[in-house]
Every structure is written in C-alpha cells, then in structure tokens.
C-alpha cells in the first residue's frame, strides 16, 4: 500500500514554495516515512528550523513546529529539549543556515550530544536569496557572488559534526531516496546528537550556473559519485577524491546531555 503522507501533512498548506526539481520534497517525504517508521507521536514531537528554503519544511507538517531565525534552529531546539526532554526534537535546515550563520550552535549541539536529530539539506548554495555561495559551495564553482569562481574551500559537514562530538553522523543524497528515511530513522532512534547530511540539488540557483543542463544531470552526478561507507573503507584517499561517501559515517554511545543534566539535578538536590 502506498505510504499515507497526508497523515502528517497539514491540510491546505501545499503547494510548497520549492522550485520544480528541488530535492527538498524528496527529503520531506523521507522524513515523514522515518517518523512513521519510528512511531513518533505527533503531539510529542517538535520540528525546528532556521531560515532558508529547507527551513520552510516545518510549516507543512502537523507537529509542534518552530520556524526560527537564521542559523538559530539548533539553539532554540536545545531550549525545547532541555525544558522538555521527553519531547522528540528534530531540526531541519540548509547548509548556509546550519554551518555558516548557525555554525556555532551546530558544533555546540554536537559537543553536548543533546538528543536531537538534525537533518541538514546541503544544496551547496543560498537558494532563497538567489544563489550566493555558501561554505559548502565547491571551490571554483559559480554563484551569484562568485562570478569569477568560488575561492573558498568547502566545509566537510560530516567531519565537522564528528569532530565536534556528534555521536551519530550519516550522509546520503537526494538521489538515494530510500536511504534518506532509513538514515533519518536510525538517527531518531539513536540517543544523542544525530546529524544526517543530505546532499541536495538546487537546479534553480546552483545547477543552472554550474553547467548542469537538467535536474536529471544533477541526480546522475549524485548517483555516480556516491560510494557506500563499506566500499569506501577499501578505497585509497586518491580513489575517494571527489566522491560522496554515503551511509552511517560515525556512531558511538556517549553520555547524552539531558541525562547528564538529570545527574546534576540529583547532585544539587542532595547538597
């Protein structure tokens, strides 16, 4: 039987704002399948975002939803989770929102290992403002503010999250639609900070400036470059150059922040 997305969508809020060919819709569907697979209670689930195209997602879905300010989603989400640890807290946002203006909140949420699931839709560009380069725009690429090619090096979000202390880090692409929900579901089930980076296509502001003739070309590129984690393990650094390693990049059990704070409460109440 086809999956019933309507169960989780707010009536009357579609059509969404995303352009034809945008990968955010694929991620939205993956997110809803993951939520369903994990059996999350709508009343007890908060979905938080910042600003940008991907950050419009919470408006469409029937949960406790919070569309915050640019870059601040992880910090708002931290307040929600701390105040009400029994709530499931998910964050959705883009690359500029998450690791440029929101980079500080992102790394510190990872460091605390607070129990939330952060779905970072990395489309290599600031889409909503018309295609300016982000920390994830490949070096040399064109954006509206890099008319002579992007001089900036690229953030590796997976390494950033692992280095900062996230205890679950995964990556996939908008081509790998069925892997999206599996990884998000794994992230939701994981106790601690889970970061799922989904490489995403923005045909309107990134693709057309960078010689992708169609969305299909962008998708094909994800398909060609993707290397599952297990296969990547047997490949050399040179062989992996320019490839996209997909799957669970890192998972460990580490004390979760709200549980650690519960211990603080116990100690405080004894003293």
Site residues (vs other proteins, CB under 8 A) = 10, 13, 42-44, 46, 48, 58-59, 62-69, 72, 75-80, 82-84, 86-87, 104-105, 107-108, 261, 264-265, 267-269, 271
Q: How far is the CB of 64 from other proteins (least distance, A)?
A: 4
Structure tokens at 53: 């195209």
Q: Is the dihedral of CA 224, 229, 231, 236 positive or negative?
A: positive
Closest to other proteins by CB, 2 or 83: 83
Closest to other proteins by CB, 193 or 244: 193
- Cβ contact 193:177 at 8 Å: no
Long-range contacts of residues 40-47, Cβ cutoff 8 Å, at least 24 apart: 40/88, 40/188, 41/88, 42/8, 44/86, 44/87, 44/88, 45/87, 45/88, 45/89, 45/90, 46/77, 46/80, 46/87, 46/88, 46/89, 46/90, 47/90, 47/91, 47/92
Q: How far is the CB of 114 from other proteins (least distance, A)?
A: 10
Q: How far is the CB of 62 from other proteins (least distance, A)?
A: 6
Helix axes 157-164 and 103-112, enclosed angle (nearest 10): 50
Closest to other proteins by CB, 178 or 271: 271
Q: How far is the CB of 108 from other proteins (least distance, A)?
A: 4
Tell me the helices (H) and strands (E) count for the chain, helix number first: 10, 10
Closest to other proteins by CB, 70 or 243: 70
Closest to other proteins by CB, 43 or 238: 43
Q: Measure the CA–CA gap between 241 and 38, rounded to whole angstroms.
A: 35
Largest Cα span, the chain: 67
Q: How far is the CB of 100 from other proteins (least distance, A)?
A: 14
Closest to other proteins by CB, 48 or 244: 48
Residue 260 bridge partners (DSSP): none
């Amino acid at each position: 039987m086809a999956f019933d997305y309507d169960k989780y969508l707010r009536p009357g809020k579609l059509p969404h704002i995303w352009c034809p060919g945008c990968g955010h819709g694929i991620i939205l569907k993956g997110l809803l399948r993951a939520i369903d697979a994990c059996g999350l209670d709508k009343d007890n689930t908060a979905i938080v975002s910042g600003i940008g195209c991907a950050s419009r997602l919470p408006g469409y879905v029937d949960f406790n939803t919070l569309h915050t300010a640019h870059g601040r989603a992880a910090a708002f989400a931290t307040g929600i989770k701390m105040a009400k640890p029994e709530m499931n807290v998910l964050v959705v946002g883009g690359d500029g929102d998450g690791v440029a203006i929101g980079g500080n909140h992102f790394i510190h949420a990872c460091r605390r290992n607070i129990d939330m699931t952060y779905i970072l839709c990395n489309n290599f560009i600031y889409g909503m403002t018309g295609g300016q380069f982000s920390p994830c725009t490949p070096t040399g690429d064109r954006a509206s503010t890099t008319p002579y090619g992007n001089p900036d090096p690229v953030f590796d979000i997976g390494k950033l999250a692992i280095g900062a202390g996230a205890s679950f880090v995964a990556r996939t692409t908008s081509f790998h639609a069925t892997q999206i929900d599996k990884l998000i579901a794994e992230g939701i089930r994981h106790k601690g900070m889970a970061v799922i980076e989904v490489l995403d296509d923005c045909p309107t502001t990134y693709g057309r400036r960078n010689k992708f003739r169609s969305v299909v070309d962008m998708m094909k590129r994800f398909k060609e470059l993707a290397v599952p984690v297990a296969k990547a393990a047997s490949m050399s650094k040179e062989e992996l150059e320019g490839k996209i390693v997909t799957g669970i990049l890192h998972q460990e059990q580490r004390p979760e922040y709200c549980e650690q704070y519960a211990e603080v409460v116990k100690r405080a109440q004894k003293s």
